[in-house]
Amino acid sequence: MNNLKYIWVLLTALAFGTMEIALKIGGSAYTALQLTFLRFLIGGLFLLPFAIHDLKKRNYRLTGHDIGFIAMLGLINIVVSMTLFQESVMHTNANLAAVLISFNPMFTMVFAHFVASERFTKKKALVLAICMTGLVLVANPLNLASGNEPIGIAMGLGASAAFGLYTALSKRCVGRIGGMALNSMSFLIGAFFELIVLLAMGEPVFSGINADTIGVLLYVGFIVTGFGYFCFMRAIEKGGASTASYAFFVKPIIAMILAAIILSEPITWNIVLGILLILAGCIFNVYHKKPKAEPGALTNK
């Protein structure tokens, strides 16, 4: 049963590794705001029964302060981060978008220094420098690959930074509330905020859903967002946050291979070297942490 944690890690990596390809395909049928609203509404509802069960097991009732804090997290994650991410997917190649969002743990390190009382050490600065070098190699800003636009890279970095802030702030309450409840409820409240934006901008909400487009919507809603986060929370429960984070070391590699097969995106030397540098930095960061129990910790997506 000890190997069960690695099964959850692998399932998480597979679900999240297909995210950019599915979102790029879905982005041709839905607007960025619409697809973000729909997938997190579906994902939040998928996780809701597990969230309720987890809260009952913890014998914990959410307070007004909890709901207000979760609402703020939903606003940051869904309305800001994931909307920017969807726009980034449509303005960059899927392999680059996967690397940009997987860079979020580096932003989490920086934000955690200010909002979670975690010191930004020289070791963390070294990790950040290594990963930044890898990111520059993948993006190759002096010679952008076909399909990669500067605006897409900027949006991807903005999405990654906002998700890093979401993760850092989540550390304040995830141990008390639990990752399943935090994700489900922040998804649903964030989707509600996204709906308000959709209506205010006069964009479609449910129109465009038909036999040709519903398949990709159900996939990004149930598999990528719902099932992916469910597996991630189970990986944390079985192996801790550090073990669960292995999924994000594997995700860019899966995305790169699938993007080459499905979308015919080239695998170039700079992409491979950049991903390896980012992985090296992340692994160095994980393996040089002081060991401590993190039963309810939230690692980054």
Most confident listed range (74-88, 132-146, 161-175): 74-88
Q: If pLDDT is split at 50, 70 and 90, which confidence band does 162 have?
A: very high
Closest CA to 96 of 293, 289, 219, 272: 272
Cα–chain center distance at 175: 19
Inform me whether the pLDDT recorded for 245 exceeds 80: no
Output the pLDDT for position 205: 92
Q: If pLDDT is split at 50, 70 and 90, which confidence band does 73 have?
A: very high
pLDDT cut 90: percent of the chain above it: 41
Q: If pLDDT is split at 50, 70 and 90, which confidence band does 296 have?
A: very low
The angle at the Cα of 80, spanning 254 to 132, to the nearest 5 degrees, equals 50
In which residue are the tokens 């390809």 written?
21
Output the pLDDT for position 134: 81
Please state which of the ranges 50-64, 78-92, 287-301 shows the lowest mean pLDDT: 287-301
Q: For 70-91, what is the mean pLDDT?
A: 94
For the chain, which residues make up each domain, given as ranges?
A: 4-287
> Do 278 and 45 touch, CB atoms closer than 8 A?
no
